Chain A
Amino acid sequence: MTQALQQALATGVLLGFVYALVALGFAITFGVMRIANFAHGQFVVAGMYLMIVLHQQIGMPVIIAIPLCVLIVAAIGMGFEWLTVEPIAGYSHYMQMIVTLGGLIILQQISSLIFGTAPMGVDLTLPALNLRIGQAFISGPRVLAALVSLGAITAVLLVLRRTFFGRAVRSVADSRASAQLMGVNPLKVNLAAFGVGAGCAGLAGALIVPFIFVSPETGLGLTVKSFIVVMIAGVASMPRILLVSLSLGTIEALSGAYLSLSLTPAIVYGSLIVLLVLMMMRQHRTGNLVSLGERDIA
């Protein structure tokens, strides 16, 4: 393996873990409420901008800035749900999705008004975490991003599986009506799902901003990517989400290294569309049609 290939594979796989975290956040909202939250990518962007403000501009240490980002973005997510989706709970999923699309546009323009449209980033080096795998050199922030993402995914899954709160969320994802009959308040669960989903997104954003530039338009692409990942993998299986996310990161890194950087989005969307179509054809053949929301999350 050449050095370039090793480098691309290593960065791609590590980035894949972050994508998996974003997709998990998307899948939680999608699984619980059956609505595609278009603002999800913009929550990632919110995390990125917050990290810029907290770490770069105010000078907070990373270890405080990142959790703060998560909390603030989770709060933004819950406020978002309360303002947009909650008033029309019970409407068709399309209508709820359109409302989140409107929210995406508003959040996007707010970031554009505050930060302008020029790409921004954070200067962060973590020499202690710099990693050398074979001939590939991985910078500290990328390692940190992958490790923390993996930890966060595990934590979210544990909460969903082991705690009462997690069981309530899963029961609503499983069957809203039955959960309601058992005394679970679905509106509260909706709010919580948005909070957790946005928290995952905010964490991912805070983690990737040291090596990925952010601009207000970044959000939509991230929403589309996590949406496609969840459509391919289904909300029911974290291993599958992880697998698809890792492939996504790898495809992106390989295309960036060997083809052209500007062609990369086309390659990524193209391969995701092909994967989606293949997946649907397979499901058609096996008769196992709807993978979404058939069982509980994770």
Chain B
Amino acid sequence: MNVEIMKAVEPRAVGLHKGRWILKLALFAGAVLLPLWNDGAAVDVVTLALLYGFLAAAWNLAGGMAGQISLGHAAFFGLGAYGVGIFYVQLGLSPYLGVLAAVLIACAAGALLGALSFWLPFSGYTFLLLTLAFAELLRAAVRTFETFGGSTGLMFPFHPGVATLQFRNTTVYYFIALAMTILAIAIGKKMRSSTFGLHAEAVRDDEGAAAALGIQSRRVKLLALIVSAGLTGLGGALYAVMFSFITPDQVFSIDFSVAMLAGALIGGIGTAWGPVVGGIVMSLLTQGMARLPLGSGVGADIAVMLYGLALILIVQRLPRGIMPNLLGEHVRGRLEGAALLRWLSRRQSRGVRAPADTDVEVRDRAKVKGR
């Protein structure tokens, strides 16, 4: 099927109900006005949450849209953080150059891993394992070499100013994170409606069939991974400047990889808004939990546990994620068979009719029957 026809048949990416622009406008206004209401702790909490939302969206470009599930995005995140760290702290160059370098390094790492795993006859599991081992490898390597600050990490000297990207007023970071999150949503939406995004989804759903249609699946996967890695590196760079202190055990930790995966899954894997929503929700939840007065470290332990619990519950109960189920963002492509059937029968029994511009029920049911 050629792409033009696919585009014509597919409904618009976001199937939220009419008036959704009002909701978006309200969200945006709320986000912009938040620092006016509270200029302190709340802004910092939301900044971090936005960063997690951004990261989940970045992960989703490769993991959700192109189906390349990675457990090693912490590698790109850490490379981004250390890119800025090395440029600014060790070499004394402008942090703007550092951010650029961070993104490029992360892209290069993504290209390397992608080239390795997509051009060799690796199964999906091998990609996952390769990314995971890569992150652990980098963590151990950075810990060892004193050039990178060793296991104690890198401390950014604090010289506030626009030239050093360090600010006394943390609201600046808030707006940077907000802009990055909006960028991530925009890229996600663009992915979902562009030819490239359709190719990626086709590769995810059935690589053989996609290849038979003339889609160069390796190139599509590689490009998706590079973009995803670059954005993750950008997130790592922001994290490094924001906290002015990075250690290998922190930035290369699998916790970040899991947080990205969990955010994307919870929000709705493969959607444009879902990962952002999921990442923000999970981050707010865990930050709140870590602040509960439960004794030393207990809150933090439970906060991490929440990620595990969320992963299990979301896969068991809502495999499509929050956005598709609650807010109706439509997911294309192959869904989990049993869950889809349940979902469909629930919808049918409630007598819900699809909006005129979607044909999701008809197509998806045909797909289930055909399988």
Which residues from chain A sit less than 8 Å from chain B, CB to CB?
Answer: 36, 84, 87-88, 90-92, 94-95, 97-99, 101-106, 108-110, 112-113, 117, 220-221, 224, 227-228, 231, 260, 262-266, 269-270, 272-273, 276-277, 280-281, 283-284, 289-290, 292
Do residues B129 and A266 form an inter-chain contact, with CB atoms below 8 A? no
User: Is B272 an interface residue, CB under 8 A from the partner?
Assistant: no
Chain A residues, Cβ within 8 Å of B308: 101-106, 108-109
What B residues does A109 contact at CB under 8 A?
301-302, 304-305, 308
SS of A interface (majority): helix
The residues in B between 275 and 302 inclusive whose CB is less than 8 angstroms from any CB of A are 297-298, 301-302
Residues of A within 8 A of B121 (CB): 280, 283-284, 289
Q: Which of B84-92, B98-106, B139-147, B226-234 contacts A (4 or more CB under 8 A)?
A: B139-147
A-chain residues with CB within 8 Å of residue B122 when the two chains form the complex: 280
Judge if B134 is at the interface, Cβ distance under 8 Å.
yes
B311 partner, pick from A98, A262, A277, beta carbons under 8 A = A98
Known: A231-B125, A273-B134. A220 touches B254 (CB 8 A): yes
Which residue of A has the minimal Cβ distance to B307?
A105
Q: Is B152 an interface residue (CB 8 A)?
A: no
Report yes or no: A273 in contact with B137, Cβ–Cβ below 8 A.
yes
Asked whether any CB of chain A lies closer than 8 Å to the CB of B133, the reply is yes
Q: CB within 8 A of A221: which of B136, B305, B315, B336?
A: B136
- B249 — nearest CB in chain A belongs to which residue? A217
CA distance A273 to B116 in the complex (A): 11
Q: Between A and B, how many residue pairs show CB distances below 8 Å?
A: 124
The range of chain B's interface size is 35 or more
A interface footprint on B128-159 (CB within 8 Å = 1, 0 otherwise):
11101110110111011000000100000000
CB distance A105 to B311 under 8 Å? Answer: yes
A227 and B307: CB pair below 8 A? Answer: no
B316 is an interface residue with CB less than 8 A from chain A? yes
Contact of A102 among B120, B302, B311 (CB under 8 A): B311
A115 to chain B, nearest CB (A): 11
Contact with A along B90-128 (1 / 0, CB 8 A): 000000000000000000000000001000111111101
CB distance from B59 to the nearest CB of A (A): 13
Asked whether B120 lies within 8 Å of A231 as measured between CB atoms, the reply is no
* B263 interface contact, C-beta 8 A: no
- Extra inter-chain contacts (20) besides given A91-B338, A224-B129, A231-B126, CB under 8 Å: A87-B316, A90-B337, A91-B336, A94-B69, A95-B315, A101-B71, A101-B261, A101-B311, A103-B308, A105-B305, A105-B307, A106-B309, A109-B308, A112-B297, A224-B133, A265-B139, A273-B137, A277-B120, A280-B126, A284-B120
B319 within 8 A of A: yes
Q: Binary interface profile of B, 331-356, with partner A (CB < 8 Å = 1, else 0)?
A: 00000111100000000000000000
Closest to A265 in B: B140
In this complex, the member of B123, B126, B338 whose beta carbon has the largest number of chain A beta carbons within 10 angstroms is: B126
How long is the Cα–Cα vector from A220 to B125 in the complex, in angstroms?
16
Residue B310 at the chain A interface, CB threshold 8 Å: yes
Within 8 Å by CB of A113, from B301, B312, B337, lies: B301
